[in-house]
Amino acid sequence: MTYLIPVIILGVCGLLAAVLLTVAAKVFYVEVDERVEKISSSLPQANCGACGFAGCADYADAIVNNGAPTNLCRPGGADAAGKIAEILGTAAAEVVPMTAVVHCNGNCEATQTAFEFDGVQSCKAVKRFYGGNGLCKYGCIGLGDCAAVCERDAIVIRNGLAVVLPELCGACGQCAEACPNKLISIRPKTSKVDVLCSSGANGKQTKLSCKNGCIGCKICEKKCPVGAITVNDNHASIDYTKCTGCGACADACPAKAIHKN
Amino acid sequence: MKSMMIILLSAMLTDNFVLSKFMGICPFLGVSKKLDSASGMGIAVTFVMICATAVTYPIHHGLLVPNGLEYFDTVVFILVIALFVQLVETALKKTIPSLYKSLGVYLPLITTNCAVLGVTVLNIDNGYSFIQSLVNALGAGLGFMLALVIFSGVRRKLEYADIPETFKGVPATLIAASIVSVSFMGFSGLFN
């Protein structure tokens, strides 16, 4: 009996609560567009926020109620866009598969650390300590803040440098957020050319700190037939909406800072 | 009547649950960014506190004590609190969807808000009568709301303040919270 009474009391309390809640759920029932739930369940449920909404459910809500574009889900890609279009009964919007790229090639052979950092082993912490422990203050710190936030294990630290594995990358952009040097950007998977340096220092300083750095010589600007590459802030950057992937810039680059994939 | 006022005011000011007892810090930091969501959260917590007290008091004295099950308090109280949080949640979703959205995850988190469980347990521990318990719950809820509302004002100022990079965000918020808490210490000794 001593054991039975607590069980009975708790059971009755729980039952009463359940009944009350059921009644409340009926009284306060909010009609939800069934398409919202269907779309929400067809999304990858990564809740990564790459679409610009607060999560998969929020995005689904925005599609149905505010007419948000159906091709914003990066991890879901064409699959998700197709399913959403099917639910909404519209034509599937085109989806360009994207991937993240680390714009730095400062591996262990190319550059060194300026000092040993004994604090918390995270890029953010190192960055706050005299701007980082690398010779180059703009490059990859290599402690893997980006790899830590990646839910698909698509980033590995190889030879002191973060490397994105495009076949695993969902292009959610969380690594780009996490990188204190803002080295990671999202570009179309099909693009052939990448500038692998983000140094803001002048050519001489860059060369002194890293063998693979962009010296900002602007040869690529002149060689590009479509004007897709520009040198800003002492390093080249590519406008992927114009780039045709011809690779003229990569061939011409004297510092070998531009790579063809 | 006088003792009621003392219970009410001491629960609100001298023994403020957030700033003196340090209960319910999670919503205190999480929902105090905007004044309207802070006051909405305050009202929701006050409601849950009063309802939970109104139910847990008779349960404790009518059901648990006669059966010698005082040790069962926490479990049953949490159940009751969860029930009322769910009720508030469904009701808010229907009646004030905008507030429901701005409270977000903090609304279901009231369930595990130790301030709510704290009120119900302290009512029993202090040996309050039913009316006294309700007054204490009301005072605790109002005190919670007061702390949130005051702190939302502080945080608005904090947004514009020129803070060193390292202290931006949570560290500055925590320091501001401690200063607000110290200011509430000034109320101690108000009642004897």
Predicted confidence (pLDDT) per residue in B94-104, tens digit: 888 888 887 77
**A3 touches B at CB < 8 Å:** no
Residue B1 is predicted with a pLDDT of: 77
**A8 touches B at CB < 8 Å:** no
Residues of B in contact with A25 (CB under 8 A): 90
Determine the residue type at A43: L
Average pLDDT, rounded, for chain B: 88
Tens-digit pLDDT profile for residues A167-205: 888 888 889 989 999 999 988 888 888 999 999 888 888
Q: Which residues of chain A does CATH 3.30.70.20 include?
A: 98-189, 191-261
CA pair distance A197, A107, nearest whole angstrom: 11
Give the number of A-B residue pairs with CB atoms closer than 8 Å.
Answer: 46
Residue A38 is predicted with a pLDDT of: 85
The pTM score is 0.61
Token pair in block for residue B120:
């119900």
CA pair distance A165, A156, nearest whole angstrom: 8
Contact A28 B80 (CB under 8 A): no
Q: Which residues of chain A does CATH 1.10.15.40 include?
A: 34-88
Residues of A in contact with B59 (CB under 8 A): 13
What is the DSSP code (8-state) at residue A134? B
| Maximum alpha-carbon separation in chain B | 60
CA pair distance B111, B77, nearest whole angstrom: 10
Mean pLDDT of A145-165: 90
A191-261 has which fold? Alpha-Beta Plaits (3.30.70)
Could you give phi then psi for residue B6, rounded to 5 degrees? -65, -45
Residue B192 is predicted with a pLDDT of: 61
Size of chain B in residues = 192
How does residue A157 score in pLDDT terms, banded at 50, 70 and 90?
very high
Mean pLDDT of A119-127: 90
CB B50 within 8 A of CB B141: yes
CB B32 within 8 A of CB B155: yes
Classified as helix, coil or strand, A21 is helix
Residue B136 confidence (pLDDT) above 80:
yes
Contact B87 A30 (CB under 8 A): no
Helical packing angle, A56-66 and A34-42, nearest 10°? 140
Which residues of chain B approach chain A closer than 8 Å at the C-beta?
Answer: 59, 63-64, 67, 69, 72, 75-76, 79-80, 82-83, 86-87, 90-91, 93-95, 97, 165-166
Residue B53 confidence (pLDDT) above 90:
yes
- Residue B10 C-alpha, separation from nearest chain A C-alpha, in angstroms: 32
Residue B131 is predicted with a pLDDT of: 93
Classified as helix, coil or strand, B151 is helix
What share of chain A in percent tops pLDDT 90?
17
Average pLDDT, rounded, for chain A: 87
CA pair distance B33, B37, nearest whole angstrom: 8
CA pair distance B55, B49, nearest whole angstrom: 10
Residue A72 confidence (pLDDT) above 90:
no
Residue A106 confidence (pLDDT) above 80:
yes
CB A46 within 8 A of CB A151: yes
Nearest to A141 by CA among A151, A152, A131, A153: A131
Task: Give me the residue from A9, A28, A30 closest to B69, CB to CB.
Answer: A9
Classified as helix, coil or strand, A227 is coil
Domain A34-88 top-level CATH class: mainly alpha
How does residue A46 score in pLDDT terms, banded at 50, 70 and 90?
confident
ipTM comes to: 0.74
Range of weakest confidence among A63-77, A144-158, B31-45: A63-77
How does residue B129 score in pLDDT terms, banded at 50, 70 and 90?
very high
In sequence order, what are the beta bridge partners of A193?
A: A260
Residues of A in contact with B101 (CB under 8 A): none
CB B100 within 8 A of CB B107: yes
What is the DSSP code (8-state) at residue A83? H
The CATH number of A98-189 is 3.30.70.20
